[in-house]
Structure 1
Amino acid sequence: MIELISSLGAWSWIILGGILLAIEVMAPGTFFMWLGISAILVGAISFAIDWAWEEQGIAFAILAVASVVLWWRFGRRDRHELDESDQPFLNRRAQGFVGRVFTLEKPIVDGSGTVRIGDTIWRVTGPDCAAGSRVKIARAEGATLFVERA
């Protein structure tokens, strides 16, 4: 087994790098890309320097760990930037109504009623109020709006 490993040359690292880059294309996430680049670098260095397979393995490990750590530290966008959007309520539509005032379509009886917002009728929960009363959206949970008298 050692003889097989020691017989592998620079082209083996280039091929391994290509395989790792192909995996990155099929399963994107930029992790395999750095491993592939590290393997290709070790292969390129192996063309210039005749070094033992142990040294090649150590060089690959160091390059791989260093490139992944540097990517995670400096290369990727901050998670807060990913959370920021020009449409913050895109998938949380009800949250966009908090603080706004609307007119009840149906009265709130026993804590439950409805309000029309645009072309959608929303279920509201709050103190009993007559139809036509103005209510302010205090909070939203799922598709239910919690209201208070305006």
Structure 2
Amino acid sequence: MSALEQIFADLGAWNWLVLGLVLLGLEILAPGTIFLWFGIAALVVGAVSLFVDLPWQVDVVVFLLLAFSSLLIGRKLMAKISRESGDPGLNQRGSRYVGREFVLATPISQGDGRLSIDDTVWRISGPDLPAGTRVTVDRVEGVKLVVKPLQPRG
């Protein structure tokens, strides 16, 4: 029996548990979620090895199968969660205001004006309108919001 085989035989399940914790620790330091899935696989192999005495070669094969299958499943899961929970307007702040109504504090003259929304002053374009007019944001063109007068109800 070689020295490596002797180490694996002496430590048994503890090899896998320590490896799993080390991989989970690396996950904290490294970006992405690669080490997470390998760490989980190592912990599962370690837990199984506590109860079932398998040769270390079988443990390695089970670890590799678990690691790569959990990596593939985890990647798909993370991609799905990312699509569902992401903010599609994150890098397009103006798109958040499309369809919303505002009151002009200053007039629009010669097609240009300014509109204060929350803590930001936006450049706007649209037809000439006096201050106090209710407008709705129609679309975004570059860094400008395009507004149109709100149609009276009724």
Normalising by the residue count of structure 1, what TM-score does the alignment of the two structures yield? 0.64
Q: 1:97 to 1:41 in 2, by over 3 A?
A: closer
**CA–CA distance in 2 between the matches of 1:44 and 1:108?**
73
CA shift for structure 1 position 106: 3.4
Is 88-97 or 2-11 further displaced after alignment?
A: 88-97
- 1:1-21 deviation digits (Å, cap 9, x = unpaired): x93443331233332222112
**CA–CA distance in 2 between the matches of 1:90 and 1:98?**
14
Structure 1 residue runs without a partner (length 5+): none
Normalising by the residue count of structure 2, what TM-score does the alignment of the two structures yield? 0.63
**CA–CA distance in 2 between the matches of 1:30 and 1:6?**
30
Q: 1:69 to 1:108 in 2, by over 3 A?
A: same
Structure 2 residue runs without a partner (length 5+): none
Q: 3-state SS of the aligned residue for 2:5?
A: helix
Contact 1:106–1:115 (8 Å) recurs in 2: no
Q: How many residue pairs align between the two structures?
A: 143
- The equivalences for 1:100-119 within 5 A come to 100-103=101-104, 105-109=106-110, 111-117=111-117
Q: 3-state SS of the aligned residue for 2:131?
A: coil
**CA–CA distance in 2 between the matches of 1:14 and 1:31?**
18
1:17 match: 20
Q: 1:119 to 1:51 in 2, by over 3 A?
A: closer
Percent pairwise identity: 32
2:66 match: 63
What letter is aligned with 1:6?
A: E
Which structure's residues are more often strand, by fraction? 1
Q: 1:36 aligned to 39, 44, 51, which one?
A: 39
What letter is aligned with 1:122?
A: W
1:132 match: 131
**CA–CA distance in 1 between the matches of 2:4 and 2:78?**
34
CA shift for structure 1 position 41: 3.2
Q: 3-state SS of the aligned residue for 2:109?
A: strand
Contact 2:137–2:146 (8 Å) recurs in 1: yes
The root-mean-square deviation of aligned C-alpha atoms, in Å, is 3.8
CA shift for structure 1 position 141: 4.6
Contact 2:108–2:125 (8 Å) recurs in 1: no
What letter is aligned with 2:7?
A: L
